[in-house]
Amino acid sequence: MSNLQNIWHTNDIAELGLEQHVFELENAGLTIVPLEKTGVPMETIDRAIEKILARFTERTGGCPISIEEGPMGELEFDGQRKSRFPGMEDDQPQPTQTTLGQLIKLDRSLRDLVVNPVANALIDYIVGPEGNNAPQDPDKAPPKARRLSNGGTSFIKWQGEYGYGPNLGLHCDQNGSAHPWGRTSLACNAMWTFTEYSKEGGALCYVPGSHKALMAPSGSGEAHLAVPVEAPKGSLVVWHGATWHGAFPKLTPGLRLNATIYYRHLMVMSQENLRVTMEDEPWDDCENPDVMRELIGFDDRFPYSKPGRKFPRFVGSNVK
């Protein structure tokens, strides 16, 4: 990074008291920020939980669900689930996890988590500035390169033997990006824990320092290096796109619930076409509509629907 870029990052991080978390991101590839440091009221977390559980019941056709008991009804999954993770048999036990996407459409509480200044400062730090070669105004911060890749996903997980296999599903989120990788995180996560995270409770796991390898795990033999992400309800967990991570099976009753906000560098293709899917949604009903607009990419140059540069016109022509 240039000196100017370092100054702006240092200012953001220092103002929010995030120096220790930047140190952990640089060295371990993951950091856990407590609720009190993010400034998010527990009421916001609880409302987001309520909205996600209500949506689960709606999407399943009426299955009740609670944090304490998990799904309170029989569920069926269409088709045979073949794991994308190495070392797992095709015939797995009945799945005990599902995902609910497009969270920012559900409620303002979830949109407020997306624009949270602490989450965005840490994501901005590992993704870096836009990198435009044009001279920057010394009085303005360089353009930010972090964007949303999708509208947020909740991983809803309950007790059962289903898991990610002997290697714990270790992978890294920027695996589809071209090599060589560098310091910049090309795709990364800010995950909000909606329940307490523990190893027995099916917590996220990761391999500390694995982002420095600048390559994906092989898929066999790395699980012994993984450690659980143990954190209280309401914590913010941020990790680099090259950090190897997976999850332990959930051995305890009830739910393991989260809201995972998936970010990307603006030059990486998004998973969801948010400029279309969010155009008529209440995206600006949040604590910081300007940040949400930027994260969605409404004003980005790419992808364009028509060329932005004017074509020269023959002098005297009536062509417009």
What is the SS3 assignment for 44? helix
Domain boundaries, the chain: 3-70+93-296
d(CA 36, CA 39): 5
C-alpha distances (whole Å) from 291 to each of 5, 15, 28, 68 are 19, 18, 28, 35
C-alpha distances (whole Å) from 205 to each of 24, 38, 262 are 15, 22, 17
Both tokens of residue 165? 């296999």
Q: Is 231 left (phi over 0), alpha (psi -120 to 50) or beta?
A: beta
pTM, to two decimals: 0.91
Closest listed residue to residue 33, CA positions, set 256, 223, 189: 189
Task: State how beta strands 187-193 and 204-206 pair.
Answer: unpaired
Q: Which pLDDT score is estimated for 3?
A: 38
Residue 273 neighbours by CB under 8 Å, 6+ apart = none
Query: To 5 degrees, how large is the angle CA 181–CA 186–CA 189?
Result: 130
| DSSP assigned state of 196 | -
Q: Which pLDDT score is estimated for 9?
A: 55
pLDDT digits (tens, 9 = 90+) for 57-70: 999 999 999 999 99
What is the SS3 assignment for 157? strand
Q: Which pLDDT score is estimated for 286?
A: 98
pLDDT digits (tens, 9 = 90+) for 220-230: 889 999 999 99
Domain 3-70+93-296 top-level CATH class: mainly beta
Below-50 pLDDT ranges, the chain: 1-8, 133
Closest listed residue to residue 246, CA positions, set 170, 317, 183: 170
171 touches 85 (CB < 8 A): yes
CA distance from start to end of the chain: 44
β-strand partners of 32: 237
pLDDT digits (tens, 9 = 90+) for 87-139: 555 566 788 999 999 999 999 999 999 999 999 999 999 999 887 545 566 66
At residue 120, φ and ψ (nearest 5 deg) are -70, -30
How many residues are given for the chain?
A: 320
β-strand partners of 144: 129
Q: Which pLDDT score is estimated for 304?
A: 82
